[in-house]
Structure 1
Amino acid sequence: MKVYRYLTGKDDAAFCHRVTDALNRGWQLYGQPTLTFDQLRGEVICGQVITKDVEGKTYDPEMDLSKL
Structure 2
Amino acid sequence: MVVIGLIVAFVLVVIFSRRGTRACRWRADRTGDKGALRKYRCAACGAEAFTATDGPPRDCKADVNRPRL
Does the TM-score normalized on the shorter chain lie above 0.5?
A: no
Q: TM-score, normalised by structure 2?
A: 0.23
Larger RCO, structures 1/2 (Cα 8 Å, 6+ apart): 1
**More helix as a share of residues:** 2
**More strand as a share of residues:** 1
